[in-house]
Structure 1
Amino acid sequence: MGSIGEPNGHIELPDKNDPAIQLVVADQDEIIAQQEGNSIEWRGALSKEAYLRREVHLASTALTEDGGLTCWALVYQPSPDRKRQVLCGCETIRKKALVSRDGKVEETTAHGIGSVFCPPEFRGKGYAGRMMSDLGKRLQSWQAEESRRVLFTVLFSDIGKKFYARNGWQPFPSSHVSLVPTTDSIQGLPPVSLLNSEDLVELCNIDEKLIRNRMTRSAQSTRSEVALVPDISAIRWHHCREEFVANELFGRHPDIKGAVTGDVGSRVWCYWTRVYTNPREESPNTLHILRLVVEDESISDFAPATAEGVARQKGSQTVSAMASLLVTAQDEAITWDMKKVQIWNPTSTTLAAVQLLDDKAAVQHRESESIASLRWHGEGSWEEVDWICNEKYGWC
């Protein structure tokens, strides 16, 4: 067996079911140690020092402050006189969510799980699985008010679909469609207005009302619907992240956060974020569409794109409006050295807009990275649950 170094000697690596192993809220020293360990894999284009500062910065956003962010550690402490040893760790972010079932829409607390990390020397012992098993049980009531029960938790797996499914987080549709930024122009698209940070609050509030209305109409279904709310705190967490990285790389950050087109009542808008990857890796810098909204409730739907749906939507004003937004996103991608524009889980309308700009564009289904996974804590089976508005804004 291996050993865990300690000031007074060493101890053998424990069995994953050892009663001296427990899941705890990490202290500050344990948090820093975890971040230093995972920085090699997750710092992207940042230096290690900048990555550590970014994590502190992100912890102070409206989404994560005042207990919104919890850092967890699976620790081993065989006796009270020994310092506890962290075997692996993760983070959870409290998120506002909606659940539609039994004829009503209920507001609830959800948790997004991220930064799951096990140091290399402790891998292969089942510790990560033990942590996720304990965490799944703990999160069912974590930070939940009596009127806002935790009905589901989510994560986005970068290690495929099997590990987290074994521990209760089932893989849900995880697809995207991409555009390569280009300066080629298309005539006849409607004009757009650019969105700055201060423009987003009102649009986020409208979007939440639209989602509630649409979920209310489907609440009579025998299936449950769940959605993470794309409120301003969720959107600004992503923008805080991109601004920090841009300031580190370029000494400035982007002010344009999205675009809108159309008249009130029939507008289409989107928000985006720029993600810079590690230049030593193959993954390209990508401008992600965080959320794409159609205001006209008679047009929008949540169904995944189909060939038949795309054919029905071609030539519509909504498709032209979306295409105009995506052209603006392509322009922003070029300005900030992004190699792709990507939209998660596109509807038929979205795909029709993308194909108006690139007729060869097709939906890609992810099998290993950013696999949207959900654990259902409500009544019934997860197989009776539809996760709607599953777009990039929900990632953590």
Structure 2
Amino acid sequence: MDLPKHDSPHLHLVVATPEELLAQQNANSTEWRGTLSLEAYLRREEHLLDLPLTRNGGLTAWMLVYTPPDSESRQVISGCESIKKRALVANGGKVEDGVAHGVASVFCPPKFRGKGYAGRMIEEVGKRLEGWQVEEGKRSAFSVLFSDIGKEFYARHGWKPFPSAHIALPAKSTERERGMPAVRLLKDGDLAELCEADEGLMRGNLTRTSRSSSRSTVAMVPDPATLQWHAAREDFVNGELHLCEGSLQDRRGAIVGDEAGSRVWCYWTRLWTKPQDEAPSTLHITRLVIEDEENPSKVNTIAALLRAAQSEAKASGLDEVQLWNPSETAVAAFHQLDPKVEVVQREKESIASLRWYGEGSWDDVDWAYNEKYGWC
């Protein structure tokens, strides 16, 4: 079949049928299945569709299709997915709830690449998401994606690259050092209360910082549905491949302290890579929460959490512990454990990118809490 040019009126952005989504998952599995077999990857994607974050339309599968003239048939050219997420937008000391969309699983088969189809699709998706799954007369706050092909392609189509840095420590079996506070591992049952406290802390910080700024500040909410989605991905992989022992449900992160207002905690998720891959298997700290960051003792407290994360990474068969876009306080804690570690500025993979739908341009927006929990 002869295919049209990328600007043809016979190319359309559509929501995929279940059959088209399955065909696309078969096609993109070579890039996105990681350590899983094709059969396991397809089961994982079906499983993830039935989570609170993604069920009942929370996930939308988009396809760019070619419909030949005088025909009702259509051929899928490329595809991606979007996940609806809760968002906060702060302006002038006021914080409002909004809708954000995370774009993921962008894929164009090799035979269709280099023809402008992926650019056509992603540009149309970006425009469609502005009014997608919001109340009539309203619009989405923003959409995000995490580029593995550098900064230029998505920037050309409306997504601004934002800071994409990380700092890492090696996995290491270690005991708590003298002078460090006690650490307790977090279970599934701990997360709802901590998410509520974290959201309250976010709202308060955004309110204060936005009072003296003319810019908009946005954030995605690390709510239980988001954390459950991350946990379900790693649970499925571990259940298939038996990569680490014990119940992961009892090891979702770690916390220091019991008194609200002075605690520090983190959530984490495990990513196992293939032995032949260059990328290390990583325990990602998806969110680090510091209730009283101005307290100088918090550096030592965070260091205790990092020690626990290193031990967990080692026990899980991983190579390193990684934190995205660390604060100065967090960097100081990493340096307490290893003075030689450096903050790495990523230029190619996992480039955090944001498309703004509000007033002004993307240059008028700050992205707060740009951490791994927002990835999809």
1:285 aligns with 2:265: no
Provide the aligned length of Structure 1 versus Structure 2.
370
Distance 2:268 2:120 in 1: 36
1:101 offset after TM fit, Å?
Answer: 1.3
The more displaced of 138-147 and 194-203 is 138-147
* Structure 2 Cα separation of the partners of residues 57 and 147 of structure 1: 34
Matched, 1:260 2:260: no
> What residue is the counterpart of 1:202 in the other structure?
193
Q: Structure 2 CA distance, aligned partners of 1:182 and 1:274? A: 15
Which residue, 337, 340, 364 being the options, matches 1:357? Answer: 337
Matches of 1:79 and 1:344 in 2, distance apart? 48
Structure 1 residue 145: deviation in Å? 2.0
Matched residues in 2 for 1:80 and 1:139: separation? 29
Spell out the pairing of 1:237-386 with structure 2 (5 A cutoff). 237-250=229-242, 253-255=247-249, 256-262=251-257, 263-296=259-292, 299=293, 316-386=296-366
Answering whether residue 161 of structure 2 is matched by residue 171 of structure 1, we say yes
Asked if 2 retains the 8 angstrom alpha-carbon contact of 1:109 and 1:148, the reply is no
CA displacement at 1:380 relative to structure 2: 0.9
Conserved in 2, the CA contact under 8 Å of 1:270 and 1:293? yes
- Give how far 1:146 is off: 4.7
Q: Contact 2:87 / 2:141 at 8 angstroms: preserved in 1?
A: no
- Length-normalised TM-score, structure 1: 0.91
Q: Which amino acid aligns with 1:240?
A: A
State the one-letter code of the partner of 2:91: R
1:130 corresponds to which of 104, 120, 123: 120
Aligned to 1:56: 46
How far did 1:280 drift?
2.6
Question: Partners of 1:118 and 1:225 in 2: how far apart?
Answer: 33
Unaligned runs of 5+ in 2: none
TM-score (norm 2): 0.96
Over 3 Å counting, the alpha-carbon distance change for 1:98 and 1:146 in structure 2 is farther
CA deviation string 1:94-142 (max 9, x = no partner): 0000000143111000000000000011001100000011111101000
Over the matched positions of the two proteins, sequence identity in percent amounts to: 56
In the alignment, does 2:206 pair up with 1:215?
yes
CA contact (8 A) 2:173 2:315 kept: no
Distance 1:354 1:268 in 2: 15
After TM superposition, give the deviation of residue 183 of structure 1 in Å. 2.9
CA shift digits 1:138-182 (9 cap, x unpaired): 010000125863021000000000000000001000000000012
Per the TM alignment, residue 83 of structure 1 is displaced from its structure 2 partner at its CA by 1.9
Q: What amino acid is aligned across from residue 63 of structure 1 in structure 2?
A: L
Q: For the structure 1 residues 148 and 62, does the alpha-carbon distance in structure 2 shift closer, same or farther, using more than 3 Å as the test? A: farther
Say whether 1:154 aligns with 2:155. no
Residue 183 of structure 2, aligned match among 168, 189, 192: 192
Q: Which residue of 1 aligns with 2:172?
A: 182
Amino acid at match of 2:50: S
**Deviation, structure 1 residue 266:** 0.2
Structure 1 CA distance, aligned partners of 2:334 and 2:260? 24
- The amino acid of 2:357's aligned partner reads H
Alpha-carbon shift at residue 274 of structure 1 (Å): 0.4
Query: What are the within-5 Å matches in structure 2 for residues 73-84 of structure 1?
Result: 73-79=63-69, 81-84=71-74
| 1:104 partner letter | K
Q: What is the alpha-carbon distance in structure 1 between the residues aligned to residue 350 and residue 31 of structure 2?
A: 15
Q: Quick check: 1:43–1:278 contact (8 Å CA) kept in 2? A: no
Q: Which residue pairs with 1:4 in the alignment? A: none
Code of the residue aligned with 2:356 in structure 1: it is W
Residue equivalent to 1:394: 374
Gaps of 5+ in 1: 1-10, 301-312
Deviates more, 1:82-91 or 1:341-350: 82-91
Q: Is the 8 A contact 2:131 2:138 kept in 1?
A: no
| 1:225 is aligned to 2:205 | no
Q: CA RMSD in A?
A: 1.4
Alignment of 1:75-154 (within 5 A): 75-79=65-69, 81-146=71-136, 149-154=139-144
Preserved CA contact (<8 Å) 1:89 1:118? yes
Within the candidate set 17, 30, 34, 1:44 is matched to 34
Which amino acid in the other structure matches residue 25 of structure 1?
V
Greater Cα offset, 333-342 or 248-257: 248-257
**Quick one: which amino acid aligns to residue 256 of structure 2?**
T
Q: 1:193, CA displacement in angstroms?
A: 1.2
